[in-house]
Structure 1
Amino acid sequence: MRVKTEEKREAILAAASDVFLEAGFEGASMAEIAARIGGSKGTLYGYFSSKEELFVAVMHEEARKQFEPVFASLNKAVEDLEKTLQTFGEKVLEFLCLPSSIQTRRAVLAESGRSDIGKRFHELGPKVGMQQLAAFLEKQMDLQRLKKSDPMLAAHQLAALLECETVVPLMLGLEETISKPRIKLAVRLALTTFFDAYAIPTGSQKKKKGE
C-alpha cells in the first residue's frame, strides 16, 4: 500500500504545472507528468482521480500562493478604502493578466463543455475569492463607507469592471500584454465607476454620524 505524502503531492503539482504550461490542458498527458517525477501513472491517480482534477489543483495552488496575501490585507483595518481597493485591484490583475493565467482560463473555458472542470475551477478559485471580497465590502457597508446593498453582487460587479479592459482583451487575443501602468489606470477607472454606484457622499456620512 502506497503512503501519500505532502512532499510527493507538491512534486506532482510542480511537474504538472510545467507540463500544462508547455502543452496546455489537452496536450498534456498523465504519462508525461509521471515521467517528470520519476513515477508511474498509478502514483498520480493515487493522489488525483483524473487529469481534470490535477489541472484544477495546479491552478488552485498557483492562485492560492498569489492571492492569500492579497486577500489577507482585506482583513486588516482600513483607513483609506479607495487606496486599499486600488492596491487590491492592481495585485489581482497583475496575476490574472499573466500569460500563464490567461492560458489557464482559456483551457478551462475550452474544456467546460466536455467535463465539470469549469465547475471545479470555479468552486476552488473564483467563488472563494468572490466570497472574501464580498465579506470585505459588506464590512465597509456596515461602516457606512459604501451604500447598503447586496455585497456579493457588488463584488461581482467590481470584478467585472476590473477585468473588462484588461483580462477580456487578453482572453480574446486583442492584446498580448497589459503593462503595469495600464493596469494601474484600469483599476483607477474601474473604481471610479464602482464608487459612483456604491460610495456614500461625504456629507451624508457626516450627517449619519451626527444623528
Structure 2
Amino acid sequence: MRTKSDATRKRVMVTAREVFREFGFEKSTMAEIATRLGGSKATLYRYFPNKEELFAATIVETEQQNVPQMLALLDPTDSNVAGVLHRAGLAYARHITSKGVIAVTRMALSPGTDPKVSRAVYDRGPNLANEAFSEFLDAVVSAGFIPPTDTHIAALHLRALLEAGCFEAVLFGVEPRLSLEQSAKAAVEAFMRLYG
C-alpha cells in the first residue's frame, strides 16, 4: 500500500512541476494538475493541502537531486582550497543554470507569488548554498588553509561571484558571455585574491 501511495505522490509532483513550468505559479491551479493526473482534486489534496505546499515540495525535490552532489565536493580536509572551490563552484554553476532551477526561480520572482513560496525557494536555494559555503570556509579557516575571516560574509561573496558570470544571464534568457567553466574559474580566482 505504501509503495502505491509513494508512486502516486511522485506522479503528483512530476505533473505539478510540468504545470508550474508551463503556466507559472500564479496561473497554475490544483484543478489543472488534477485534470492532468486523471483524478480528482480530493486525491491531490490528500497529498498536499494547498498549491503553495505542492510548489514548495517540487522545489525541495529539485534541490535534493542536485545539491548533495555539490556539497560532497566541499572537502574541508583538502588544503587546495582553490581546487575544491573550483570543482564545487562549477557544480553549483551547472545547478543554478539548469532548466529546473531557472524555472523555479522565475516562478518565485513572479508578481503575485505568495511570499511564503518565495521564502521557501530562497531557503532551499541561495540560503542553503550560503550555509554550505560558510561551513566549508569555517573548516578551512580552522585548519589554517586560509586566513581568519568572517566566513558568513565570505560565503555570500563566493556565491555572488559564482553567479555573476552565468546565472543572471540565463535567468533573463540571454546567452552568458562566459562558459560555466570560465565563470567558475574567474569567480574562484577573484575569491582567492580576496580571501586566500
TM-score when scaled to structure 2?
A: 0.87
Alignment of 1:40-51 (within 5 A): 40-51=40-51
Give, in whole Å, the separation in 2 of the partners of 1:31 and 1:19: 11
Q: 1:19 to 1:194 in 2, by over 3 A?
A: same
Give, in whole Å, the separation in 1 of the partners of 2:111 and 2:71: 28
Alignment of 1:1-211 (within 5 A): 5-75=5-75, 77-111=77-111, 114-173=114-173, 175=174, 177-178=175-176, 182-199=179-196
Gaps of 5+ in 1: 200-211
Structure 2 residue matching 1:74: 3-state secondary structure:
coil
Give, in whole Å, the separation in 2 of the partners of 1:84 and 1:129: 15
Structure 1 residue matching 2:110: 3-state secondary structure:
helix
Q: 1:110 to 1:7 in 2, by over 3 A?
A: same
Give, in whole Å, the separation in 1 of the partners of 2:185 and 2:69: 21
Tell me how far 1:100 sits from its aligned partner: 3.4
Counterpart amino acid of residue 127 in structure 2: K
1:111–1:118 contact (8 Å) kept in structure 2: no
Give, in whole Å, the separation in 1 of the partners of 2:60 and 2:176: 23
Structure 2 residue matching 1:54: 3-state secondary structure:
helix
Q: Which residue of 2 aligns with 1:207?
A: none
Q: 1:120 to 1:133 in 2, by over 3 A?
A: same
Tell me how far 1:156 sits from its aligned partner: 1.1
- Indicate the larger mover: 103-112 or 156-165: 103-112
Aligned residues: 193
Tell me how far 1:46 sits from its aligned partner: 2.3
2:63–2:124 contact (8 Å) kept in structure 1: no
2:59–2:104 contact (8 Å) kept in structure 1: yes
Identity across the alignment (%): 28
Give, in whole Å, the separation in 1 of the partners of 2:112 and 2:181: 31
Give, in whole Å, the separation in 1 of the partners of 2:58 and 2:113: 20
Gaps of 5+ in 2: none
1:112–1:118 contact (8 Å) kept in structure 2: no
Q: 1:111 to 1:71 in 2, by over 3 A?
A: farther
Counterpart amino acid of residue 196 in structure 1: R
Tell me how far 1:33 sits from its aligned partner: 1.4
Tell me how far 1:90 sits from its aligned partner: 1.0
Tell me how far 1:148 sits from its aligned partner: 1.2
Q: 1:123 to 1:112 in 2, by over 3 A?
A: farther
- Indicate the larger mover: 106-115 or 17-26: 106-115
Tell me how far 1:167 sits from its aligned partner: 0.8
2:107–2:113 contact (8 Å) kept in structure 1: no
Higher radius of gyration, 1 or 2: 1
Q: 1:39 to 1:190 in 2, by over 3 A?
A: same
Tell me how far 1:111 sits from its aligned partner: 4.5
1:97–1:178 contact (8 Å) kept in structure 2: no
String of CA shifts for 1:140-160, please: whole Å, max 9, x gaps.
111111221222211111000
